[in-house]
Amino acid sequence: MKRTAAIVCLSAVLVTAGCSDSKSGSGGKPDPDNEKQASAEVVKNFAAAWVKAWAPNGKPEEAAALTDTPATFGKRLDEVDTALVAQSVTVAPQGDPKCSDDNNCTQDLAVEAVLRGIGTMKWTSTATAVKTGDAWKVKASGDTIYPGLGESNYLKRVRALPARASILDRNGKALTVNRPVVIVGVASGKVATAATYAAFTKNLQVDGAKLKARAVGAPAGQFVDAITIRSEEWDRLKPVMGSLPGVLTMGGTQSLAESPTFARSVIGTMKTATADTLKNAGPTASATDQVGTTGLQYAYQQDLAGTPGGTVTLRDGKTKLSIKTVFSQQGKAGTPVKTTLDPNLQRLAEAALATSKLPASLVAVQPSTGQILAAANGPTPTNYNRAFQGRYAPGSTFKIVTSAALLGSGLTANTALTCTNTINVLGKTFKNYDGLAPYGTGTMQKAVNESCNTALISQHARLKADGMTKAAAMFGIGQDLKLSIPAYGGQVPAPKDDVAEAASMIGQGTVTASPLAMAMVAATVQHGTALKPVLIPGKDAAGPAASPLPPATAAALRTFLRTTVTGGTAKGLAPYGAVSAKTGTAEVVANGKVITNGWMVGYRGDVAFAVIVEGGVSGGKAAGPILANFLSKFS
């Protein structure tokens, strides 16, 4: 062993700082005749190449080239990577090499591999560096990767997912439980026929053309999943689709609500992970997992899923039997997510919307707390939660806010206002809805009860430029709702001129709000203070969203909404108890045509509500019957 150079250098260090172990003129490269230096260098390079090999899309060739048998070692390193499903690895040489002679040295490697979907596995292996000719190489051995692998043994990992936790209702009862499902798909390649893909489109609303493209492009022998459905639905479809060429199925479980429609847009959906949903699911998720894709299932994916457990065993290459368990991690159950939903009101809301022929949404909230009791979208199931996210002109329901602004400017419920057929503001003509005949002079209360646009617009000069914006803020409109799932709090921009201000007074122009935001407006009238909406207690922001309404304003608004039911445009709700409400009809442009959306907002007891019907003729005719159906089912 060549110790002399090292000793000379050590002695020289006492004289000068310019000493080097390298041969003169080597450019700083390790001296192949200095076994410790040369072996340490090749092991260091091998460790770095190993890290690259196990990185995403990494290749083993660079690491293999540093061994004495590159043709076989690269495949071996790749096989272990695949077996462990390693997401990444760190490999750090430990201490100094130990050399038995001039041509053989060993050095420990501290290895930490992140096993995708399980956790981090740590071990120490030993790299043997050998001198072959003038070069040093790492000996190509399975033990270099993991001690005990040798020439034929292998590692096998098993991953165990805990049962997914439930989403709960306001009383802590499960809204979702793990139910049997069937993953329906096709064999890769060209096994499936045109009839197969047509059946997917017809019976499962899966794009057959896109499914075919995925199947043809997938590696041979793969299962190409298309959709996950409840097992009872597959039982119904099996006679039609089960025998079609290329159709394959896999059984499993998924966290599901009582029906495919129940609170769908709030609870959310689950599917096999995609690149985006896998990222949201966190480092312990796997590409084969069923993960949340929308709603609360997506927002609370990591809480609900818990932490997977897993084991890695060292197996005999000949017998396939386990030699020993080399890694074990206990899984951790998911954490249930408690909502504020009332399942009875949710069912009633969905049943009420099922009576509509047009797209509609219904939101119910508790005025005393701001908690969301129900949020439904119908008449057909949809993942898009327009009840929370829809951006609509609120139409005459916004006259609640307008009334508050005018009351704050000095008007009273008994102030005389004139209801004319039209009114002109800076050349812009505003009119009333078609069902209202101008009645001349009446009180402000009557103007609200009859929903007279012109009577209220006639007072626009009383308001400051930001008058409507500030009035809206009193009801929480314009704030970021900061719910656990996306929700729109509305906006009332300061008008650029009197025309824009007049439009905002009747909920048109640049004014927009979601059904949730308008339900909170009605709740503010009942409660007296705007509260922040809450869906997940302890997670969503709670408490006041604004200062309390002036007592006189709150009292007047309560009278306005109650008399709108007893003798105004919402009288269709009169048979359903002490209901207070405001109707609304908003003109919007859809596909180049002007249509109307029908609104109804209000409250009864400690339940406030908002209903919108897209394309509804008016609030009373379109939203009214839905709300009547809803209110008739509970007290």
Burial class (CB in 10 A: 0-12, 13-18, 19+), 3: exposed
Q: What is the mean pLDDT of the chain?
A: 93
Predicted local distance difference test score (pLDDT) of residue 28: 53
Predicted local distance difference test score (pLDDT) of residue 21: 39
Q: How do residues 323-344 score in pLDDT, each as one tens digit?
A: 999 999 999 999 999 999 999 9
Predicted local distance difference test score (pLDDT) of residue 518: 98
Among 271-285, 356-370, 385-399, 481-495, which stretch is predicted with the lowest mean pLDDT?
Answer: 271-285
**Angle, to 10 degrees, between the axis of helix 194-204 and the axis of helix 208-217?**
130
Average confidence (pLDDT) over 198-208: 96
pLDDT greater than 50 at residue 16: no
pLDDT greater than 90 at residue 588: no
d(CA 11, CA 489): 77
Average confidence (pLDDT) over 586-608: 92
* Longest Cα separation, the chain: 114
Nearest to 273 by CA among 249, 259, 292, 294: 292
CB of 619 closer than 8 Å to CB of 569? yes
pLDDT greater than 60 at residue 563: yes
CA distances from 360 to 345, 374, 378, 517 (A): 16, 14, 5, 15
Nearest to 192 by CA among 176, 206, 213: 213
Band (632; pLDDT cuts 50, 70, 90): very high
DSSP for 324-357?
A: EEEEEE--B----EE----HHHHHHHHHHHTT-S
pLDDT greater than 90 at residue 12: no
pLDDT greater than 50 at residue 199: yes
CA distances from 44 to 93, 142, 144, 228, 501 (A): 6, 18, 13, 48, 72
Task: Give the residues across from 216 on adjacent strands.
Answer: none
Q: How do residues 78-101 score in pLDDT, each as one tens digit?
A: 999 999 999 999 999 999 999 999
d(CA 188, CA 222): 5
Element (H, E) at 179: strand 177-187
CB of 221 closer than 8 Å to CB of 188? yes
Residues 6+ away with beta carbon under 8 Å from 18: none
Kindly state the percentage of the chain with pLDDT values over 70.
Answer: 95
Residues 6+ away with beta carbon under 8 Å from 52: 58, 59, 62, 63
Predicted local distance difference test score (pLDDT) of residue 3: 31
Half-sphere exposure of 583 (CA within 13 A, CB side): 35
The b-or-e profile of 457-496 (16+ CB within 10 A means b, else e) is bbbbeebeeebbbbbbbbbbbbbebebbbebbbbbbbebe
Predicted local distance difference test score (pLDDT) of residue 18: 33
Predicted local distance difference test score (pLDDT) of residue 590: 78
pLDDT greater than 70 at residue 22: no
List, in order of start, the domains of the chain with CATH numbers.
Answer: 4-151 (3.10.450.100), 167-294 (no CATH), 343-631 (3.40.710.10)
**Angle, to 10 degrees, between the axis of helix 194-204 and the axis of helix 231-241?**
140
Q: How do residues 265-321 score in pLDDT, each as one tens digit?
A: 999 999 889 999 999 999 889 888 899 999 999 999 999 999 999 999 999 999 999
CB of 622 closer than 8 Å to CB of 358? yes
**Is the backbone peptide bond immediately before 260 cis, with ω within 30 degrees of 0?**
no
The identity of residue 245, as a single letter, is P
Average confidence (pLDDT) over 343-356: 97
d(CA 307, CA 298): 16
Half-sphere exposure of 264 (CA within 13 A, CB side): 15
Q: How do residues 155-172 score in pLDDT, each as one tens digit?
A: 999 999 999 999 999 999
Strand pairing report for 337-338 and 167-168:
parallel
Average confidence (pLDDT) over 245-256: 94
More reliable by pLDDT, 584 or 30 = 584
Predicted local distance difference test score (pLDDT) of residue 29: 67
